[in-house]
A and B are shown apart, each in its own frame.
Chain A
Amino acid sequence: MSEEQIKSLEEQFEARIARDEKIEPKDWMPEKYRKTHIRQMSQHAHSEIVGMLPEGNWITRAPSLRRKVALLAKVQDEAGHGLYLYSATETLGISREEMYEQLHTGKAKYSSIFNYPTVTWADMGAIGWLVDGAAIINQVPLCNTSYGPYARAMIRVCKEESFHQRQGYEIMIKLANGTLEQKEMAQDALNRWWWPSLMMLGPTDAESIHTEQSMKWKLKRKSNDDLRQQFIDQTVPQAELIGLTIPDPDLKWNEERQSYDFGEIDWDEFWQVVKGHGPMNKERMKARVNAWENGAWVRDAAMAHAEKKQDRKEKKAV
């Protein structure tokens, strides 16, 4: 194709998205659209999969059967969400194995939040309440994104995710109304998860390199800073309601803006964790790679069994 032809195709393509038409797997698309979507969607899938690890840590030690079934169901949902997103990404022409390879070699990123440790039971509450809360704010706009398979996967994810945040907040309510030690445990979890949760909404608009293009393709509907403000404004009253304190001395209601002003985020910490120097980066990757490698014989055995069954069926037919 000549450069001119490509340019005209690109213009038609952008016009389709501007008209709110969806793009489907076999449609022509600019290479950059394909690459950007593979990157974002696979990272999203990786985040769901790695996101099972911090919570998996507490399944066997959940304080009651009620908490245990809920946590199990939540972690199972995360596996499901990872699978929806992996298969949606495969429609863009990348194989599952390639994506795993990118995750395991560190070429692909996943959400940095999962590189923090889960040291107490209250962390299960804080993760559901804050981490899933921030994730929902990030994800809801994606239900309307331009790439059909991604939008459909996100509708499913968002529908299932609403229980995740509620079960987390319920854990926090219970601890905050418990003994002094339990309340302290809840406050400590909030102290550790608050700032990383704010970072989940992405670098400030001034630093964000992908925003403009992503807005055009509806991979983003609101800027990172707007989403962060929305998260803070909705979460602060939830903390107050259960008598917990947001660990930010600069946090203050701004009457004029009808929003909370908040303190400086430590972006050095964010970039350190993104670059692999968070407290749990190595641990998380080790767990993923081990799961994949130790499962190889199971995958091979299942394949051998399937082939044997097929052979037997064919022999019978003769």
Chain B
Amino acid sequence: MSTKNWPLWEVFVRSKNGLEHRHCGSLHAADEEMALENARDVYTRRSEGVSIWVVESKHITASNPENNGEMFEPAQDKVYRHPTFYDLPDEVKHM
């Protein structure tokens, strides 16, 4: 019987040049080469991609939704970071 299980990999696919790689799912593979080959077969059977990234899931550090308050709320009251915060007369053009 198997002694060690294949690790989990996250798959990111660029659908065409000019666009970013986007996370599309995960899969199991013994190493990075196999992860790439499996990603090709599992996630791009219909020409969905021109480039694939794989990264072992354990290398991803994620924020914790329980801390979303201190993590993301500070940005909420900084409306002055948006152009609509500033009052301009209607006559002003091109701004």
Contact = CB atoms under 8 A, between A and B. Distances in A.
A141 B44 CA distance: 24
Interface in A131-162: 152-153, 160
A77 B28 contact: no
Interface stretch (A114-122, A205-213, A246-254, A303-311): A303-311
Given A26-B64, A76-B45, A303 B27 contact: no
A184 interface: no
Interface of B: 1-6, 8, 25-28, 30-31, 34, 41-42, 45-46, 62, 64-66
Contacts of B41: 76, 80
B30 A302 contact: yes
B3 to A, nearest CB: 7
Interface residues of A, number: 29
Nearest 7 A/B pairs, CB to CB = A306-B31, A302-B30, A306-B30, A87-B26, A303-B4, A303-B30, A296-B2
Contacts of A73: 45
A262 interface: no
Chain A interface, >50% SS class: helix
Nearest to A88: B25
A299 B27 contact: no
A28 B66 contact: yes
A27 B65 CA distance: 6
A90 interface: yes
Interface string A82-114: 011001101000011100000000000000000
Contact of A309 (B3, B31, B65, B66): B31
Contact of A24 (B5, B6, B34, B65): B65
Chain B interface, >50% SS class: loop
Given A296-B1, A299-B6, A83 B42 contact: yes
Contacts of A77: 45
Contact of B5 (A83, A87, A97, A293): A97
A300 interface: yes
27 contacts: A24-B65, A73-B45, A76-B45, A77-B45, A80-B42, A80-B45, A83-B27, A83-B42, A84-B25, A87-B8, A87-B25, A95-B5, A96-B5, A96-B28, A97-B5, A160-B46, A296-B1, A299-B30, A300-B3, A302-B30, A302-B34, A303-B3, A303-B4, A303-B6, A303-B30, A305-B31, A306-B30
A80 to B, nearest CB: 5
B2 A300 contact: yes
B32 to A, nearest CB: 9
Given A76-B41, A299-B2, 14 more contacts: A26-B64, A28-B65, A80-B45, A84-B42, A96-B5, A153-B25, A293-B1, A296-B2, A299-B6, A299-B30, A302-B6, A302-B31, A303-B4, A303-B30
A306 B45 CA distance: 25
Contacts of B65: 24, 26-28
A160 B25 CA distance: 16
A314 to B, nearest CB: 14
A293 B1 CA distance: 7
A95 B4 CA distance: 13
A305 B30 contact: yes
Contacts of A310: 31
A153 B27 CA distance: 13
Interface in A53-101: 73, 76-77, 80, 83-84, 87-88, 90, 95-97
B7 to A, nearest CB: 9
